[in-house]
Amino acid sequence: MANRNPSYEDLALWDDLNVVGTVEDDEEDPTHIDPRETPAEIVELDQTVSELEAELARLKLKRAQILADKSLISRIPPELLSRVFELGVHEHLPLLPILSLVSRHWRNLTLTTPSLWSHIRLDHNWGYGRTASFLQKLTTHLERSQACKLQVDVDFRFLDVFPDVLTVMTQLEPHLERCFYFHVSVPDWDWMAAVREKSHGLGPCLEELYLRIDPSDSEDQTPITFLQTSCPRLHTIVLEHTPLTCIRPSSPTTPLSLPALRKLHLIRDQRYHSSSRIGISFRELLDTISCTPSLVELRIQSAIFLLDGTEPIFHPNPTLTTIPLLTSLAFNFLDTTNTSLLLDSLSLPSLHRLSIQMEPNNEETTHWLSRLSAPSPTSPYEFRFPELRHLDLRACNIDGPALFPFIRALHGLPHLTALALSSPPSGTLGAKLFDLLSSPSPSPSPPSSTVPSSPTDTSFSSSSSSSNAPAGVWVLPNLCALCVQNCRDVSGHELLRLVRARQNHAGGVKAIRYLRITQCYSVDAEVVDLLKGLVDVVVTA
């Protein structure tokens, strides 16, 4: 017989140690061969042993029951324990069936806590070809959740056939009026239309909406309008490879009504690694954000803007679209042209944090950098982004010749308090950047014809005017937090010089209070110890 290839799983699996009862039933054990009758004393002893073993098992069970009854967790009030269950299940959904198997008390508490059954999910963990099981689960959750608000997260790609979509939505339809989170993923617009047909109840309680359609079919057919009723509580919308048409009214004359919308994310399908971009109508984007005065966060990922020539940016005197409450703006994988286009079209008086991640191998940065330091179009004495405090840059080229526009932009942002630089395309930041941040540059006296600064602008008034000598101008005089990530040339010594220079300066510049150094594998450990003695918070990884 040919020998099969051994595997590591076969180690220590001896057959004679894993067979229960190696002696056949029809064979006698030679050590027990005794033709005589068993003595009465042995029979009595065997019976006593059997009774003692049964008593021992009973006592062990009673001991475990007493310990369980007197355990600390059994003293927790049911309403508090059910709240703990709710927090655990909402954090990790597979915990629900485990809780019901611990004890009878836990099972009864699990079955009588409606909030534990308010999360309905169908995703890759459920798998394909199990539609009947999911329908049974759906019915159970809808019944046991009673009147609790529902969180629906359904990926319809895992259903067997198209009619199953209507079956699932038919069961959900009477309960959608209490749905506060609705996350739907479909393969094409036909399936999205089927979902929309049964979603008339969405609106009164809806707070978060997440729509996703497969990239292969997102642009082949005419999109539909998903929102059909007013959503007074809707504060978050995430459109993954889904056009803005889905949340805009079907009639051009009907105004968009999203009074509570605070977060809007337009992103490419994150399930696939691809360099493709989603096309966003620039006109629709401006119209959407102009109708959402409560918007505080806007994120656009892997997109290009589609122009039709009627946008305000083409006018001789373009009117900027104002988002009065927007505090956070993030661009991920946008080229410089699209980044500049949006920055040139918006007025952001409350922008506090700007996060920009450029495309890989991008070398053009001057287009959007000039927008950061440009004065306000309404007044040359005001900053374009007066409330900007945090600037987070990733994969931005700021070394070599690109250092000049970058430093010019930073000079136009003296009120910036936090700067993060991550993953430069060349892998290095260069020592010159830290040298410029570590010392003031001489500032010549302005000529007599220069227009005086605005009296309300105090950003550059830190130096006393009593001295005839020109005051030095610091780059980012209010910088308090600095983060560098994935930079192979950062050793820590340049950061130590920067921290000491700003800390020891008499005035006109603030000291660094927060420093983060991550994925910089050339950092000297001894320098990190010195930095921890100078900076309030130092984070390394």
What local confidence, expressed as pLDDT, does residue 22 receive?
A: 44
Describe the crossing of helices 131-144 and 163-172 by its angle, rounded to 10 degrees.
10
Tell me: pLDDT of 54 over 90.
yes
Tell me: pLDDT of 220 over 80.
no
Angle CA 299–302–305, to nearest 5: 85
Q: Is 301 within 8 Å of 242 (Cβ atoms)?
A: no
- What is the distance between the alpha carbons of residues 426 and 83, in angstroms, rounded to a whole number? 51
What DSSP character marks residue 16? G
Q: What is the mean pLDDT of residues 96-105?
A: 88
The residues, any chain, with a CB within 8 Å of residue 267's CB and separated by 6 or more, are: 238, 239, 240, 241, 278, 299, 300, 301, 302, 332
pTM tops 0.85: no
Tell me: pLDDT of 36 over 50.
yes
9-23: pLDDT as tens digits = 454 444 444 444 444
Amino acid sitting at position 286: L
- 10 Å Cβ neighbour count for 404? 12
- What is the distance between the alpha carbons of residues 219 and 245, in angstroms, rounded to a whole number? 12
Q: What is the mean pLDDT of residues 249-256?
A: 69
CB contact burial 365-377 (16+ within 10 A = b; e otherwise): bbbbbbbbbbeee
- What is the distance between the alpha carbons of residues 208 and 182, in angstroms, rounded to a whole number? 6
Check residue 512 and give left, alpha or beta (phi > 0: left; psi -120 to 50: alpha): beta
pLDDT confidence band for 430 (50 / 70 / 90): confident
The residues, any chain, with a CB within 8 Å of residue 167's CB and separated by 6 or more, are: 131, 135
Q: Is 339 within 8 Å of 362 (Cβ atoms)?
A: no
Token couple for 502 = 């700003």
The residues, any chain, with a CB within 8 Å of residue 251's CB and separated by 6 or more, are: none
What local confidence, expressed as pLDDT, does residue 256 receive?
A: 73
What local confidence, expressed as pLDDT, does residue 443 receive?
A: 59
Query: Exposed, middle or buried by CB within 10 Å (0-12, 13-18, 19+), for 263?
Result: middle
258-275: pLDDT as tens digits = 889 999 999 987 776 667
What local confidence, expressed as pLDDT, does residue 323 receive?
A: 92
What local confidence, expressed as pLDDT, does residue 7 receive?
A: 52
Strand partners, 442: 472
Phi, psi of 350 (to 5 degrees): -115, 10
Helices (H) and strands (E) in the chain, counts: 14, 20
444-458: pLDDT as tens digits = 555 544 433 443 343
481-518: pLDDT as tens digits = 999 999 999 999 999 999 999 988 767 799 999 999 99
What local confidence, expressed as pLDDT, does residue 381 receive?
A: 64
Place of tokens 């007044």: 379
Phi, psi of 239 (to 5 degrees): -110, 110
Strand partners, 298: 264, 329
Strand partners, 356: 331, 393
- What is the distance between the alpha carbons of residues 184 and 211, in angstroms, rounded to a whole number? 5
223-243: pLDDT as tens digits = 888 887 888 999 999 999 888
Average pLDDT, the chain: 83
- The CATH code of the domain at 352-438+471-541 is 3.80.10.10
Q: Is 485 within 8 Å of 519 (Cβ atoms)?
A: yes
The residues, any chain, with a CB within 8 Å of residue 39's CB and separated by 6 or more, are: none
Query: Exposed, middle or buried by CB within 10 Å (0-12, 13-18, 19+), for 320?
Result: middle
Query: Exposed, middle or buried by CB within 10 Å (0-12, 13-18, 19+), for 454?
Result: exposed
Query: Exposed, middle or buried by CB within 10 Å (0-12, 13-18, 19+), for 31?
Result: exposed
What local confidence, expressed as pLDDT, does residue 365 receive?
A: 57
Token couple for 65 = 């029951």
Is the pLDDT higher at 119 or at 22?
A: 119
What local confidence, expressed as pLDDT, does residue 107 receive?
A: 92
Q: What is the mean pLDDT of residues 56-75?
A: 86
Tell me: pLDDT of 251 over 70.
no
Token couple for 80 = 């508090």
pLDDT confidence band for 461 (50 / 70 / 90): very low
Query: To the nearest whole percent, how much of the chain has pLDDT over 70?
Result: 82
